[in-house]
Structure formats: C-alpha cells, structure tokens
Amino acid sequence: MPMTDFKQLAELYRSELLDRVVPFWLSKSQDNVFGGYFTCLDRDGSVYDTDKFIWLQGREVWMFAKLYNSVEPRREWLDAAVQGAEFLKRHGHDGQLNWYFALDREGHPLVEPYNIFSYTFATIAFGQLSIALTKAAASTGGECIIGGDSFNAATLAAEYASIARRTFDIVLSKTDNPKGQWNKAATGARSLKTFDLPMILCNVALEIESLLEPAFLQKAIDDCLHEVMDVFYRPELGLIVEALGKDGNLVDCFDGRKLNPGHAIEAMWFVMDLGKRLGRPELIQKAVDICLAEVEYGWDKEFGGIFYFMDRLGKPRHELEFDQKLWWVHLETLISLIKGYQLTGDERCLRWFRRVHDYTWSHFRDTEYPEWYGYLNRQGEVLLPLKGGKWKGCFHVPRGLMNVWKILDDIASHQ
C-alpha cells in the first residue's frame, strides 16, 4: 500500500473547514434581526425560506461552540453561538423545556414538541456552549458584550449548563415513549423500539460529561452501549438494524427490515470514543469491525457511494430516497474509518477511507460556491443544489471536516 501523506491530507480538511465552510455559515445563516439562524440556504447562500427548525438551531449553536472550544477561541464564533442560544432559550421551548420542532422566523411555534431529537440537540448545544463561556469567563474576567448587550459569562455558563442537564433528564424520561402524546400508533398496535435514540445518547452523554454526576453518567453510558452493541447489533447479520420488537427480536415488516448504514457507521465512532474513554480496546475493535461490515454492505458496487436505506432481506423499500447518496452518511463514514485507523492501525480502515474520501470530495463538494451538496441520486448526480434546508444545516459537513482534520493531524504527528 502506498504511503499516505497524512499532513497534506490534514491540511486539505483544515482549509476546507476554516476557509470555505465555516465562513459560509457565519456570513450567510445568522438572522441579525430576530436572532437564530437561517438554514434554508440555496447554492450561493441566499435564503429561500425563513422558518427555523430546532434540530438545526441547536446543531449550529453546538458547532460554533465546539469550534471555539476545540479549534481556536475566536470571538466571532462565540458571538454566533450565544446569539443562537439566546434565540433558542427565548423561543425554542414551551417554558418547561419541551422543545418545539419548528418556529417561524420571529420565533412563534409552528410544530409541537413531538420530536425527541429537538431535545437531544438542545442538550448538546447548551452543554457545549456552557463550556465555551466558562473558558471565556476565565480569559476576560467575566464580562462579555454580544450584540451590544453586556453579560457575565460565568453566570450565563451556569444557566446554560442547567438547561442542558434538565433537558437531558427529560430525554431520559422519554426513552420508552419518545413522542409522548403525539405518538400516532393505535392502541395495542405492533410496538417497535428504534436504534436512533440509544445511538445519539452515546454521543450526548460524552458531550455533557462534565455536567453530570459520575455515577449517573456511567449508568447512561452503560445503558446506551448495551442497547447499541448487544441489542441492535445482530451477530447473525453482522449488522445493526434500525428497529426491533420491544422484546428485542427481529420483526418482518417495513420498519423491522430497515437498515440505515449511515446511522450504524456514525454510531461506531461514538462507541470508539466511549471505548477510548473507558479503556476498553476490545470495544473499540468491535466497533471497527462493525463499521467495516456496514461500509462493505452499504457500498453501491455499481455507481459508488453508500446507500441511504436498505432492506435486510433484500425486499423493496418504501422510501423513494432509499438509493440516494446523502452528505451526512459519507462524512460520518470518513470520521469512523479514520478514527478506526487511528485507534487500531487496521489497514482495512485506511483502504476504505481513501475510497470514501475520493467519492465524497469528487461528488459532494461544490467547486464554485462554499459548503457542500447534500443530496445525490444513485448515479452520483446532484439532485438538489441547496446548501441547507429542513434537515441539512451547519453540522455534518463542518463537524466531519473538523474531526477528520484533527485525527489526520494526530496521525501525521506520529508518522
């Protein structure tokens, strides 16, 4: 295998992140009138819809706070995160931290708080920003001015930490029935549990680790790992399924047969991080093996790229987008593969990383305007030229670029 120039590759990811993608969101998405962020951005960054979706508001707060904490304490990033958080604090919930799904531009609720992931992304947003503000307080003496308003950074950090902890408590209380009163299932209907919640909780637990009591954190981690690695991972398939019966058995129906390679692969880098934190190399290796199995299974051998949805029995899917190639699937795969190589030295990870890297950079990156395309057809042609919408925002592309850059940089330093 030819030697990889990890230093040069790291610079590619760093430059794309800091010179093109982050400036795009910083300049194009902030609503300087009402607060929060526009996420429905066309190819050139022009706004084509002003509704605001809590998933993406929380994710963007988190992203700017994470950049401040992990890359460089730039004031413009902290300012962007705080103004978004203040909009969320004022308008994003019903007063009891039940987080809505969508708001209009001014912050009036459009969709009730039925979606548990509004809560999880609010949790990581306020958790990460509380850490950033604690750092800012230490460096500024406490007083900060954002948008012409003066505030005490330490006081605001404590308030945000409380919001994160209380929201996380609500998330954990809703795990058995995430949609609550908005659950559309008929009484006595077939009951399934889904992979998405324990998968995201693996990440959320680490995100707010410093805000939780150690025993509470450990139980949350243990519960999440058990669900992901012992329940939804099926050794008889060598893959992770998206839904199971409440008894933990496979179910033969549309939802029960559904596979989402991107979800499974993303979860594996969460698990690798937990394995590293817990000092469990066997857990890391298992996550690497599952990641590689998912990539191999999900790869489109005719056109390249990773399928969005698949059926474990090879039956037709009902989702019309099942064979599309989506941005987040490929960015998360790049993180998992290079992290797997970093932690284990498994050359299979590096081989697949090169392959996915080549596909991702040649198909999703827009060479004319900043930020990346999100939606391709099976053949790899751009379906939608938009850079953001109801589901795509300031998250997977910058997070992916940042994580891969940092990992490559670490590998290069040890090469």
Mean pLDDT of 79-93: 97
Tally of CB atoms within 10 A around 298: 22
Set out the domains of the chain in order of their start, with CATH numbers.
1-28+192-415 (1.50.10.10), 31-172 (1.50.10.10)
Please count the residues of the chain. 415
pLDDT at 21 over 80: yes
- 4 vs 7, 210, 351, CA distance in Å? 9, 36, 10
Q: Report the pLDDT value the prediction gives residue 183, as an integer from 0 to 100.
A: 67
pLDDT at 3 over 70: no
What string of DSSP letters covers 99-160?
Answer: B-SEE-TTS-EEE-S--HHHHHHHHHHHHHHHHHHHHHHHHHSSEEEETTEEEEHHHHHHHH
Mean pLDDT of 281-288: 98
* pLDDT tens digits along 134-189: 999 988 666 666 656 777 899 999 999 999 999 999 999 988 777 666 666 676 67
* pLDDT tens digits along 335-367: 999 999 999 999 999 999 999 999 999 999 999
User: Cα separation of 67 and 406, whole Å?
Assistant: 12
Mean pLDDT of 264-281: 96
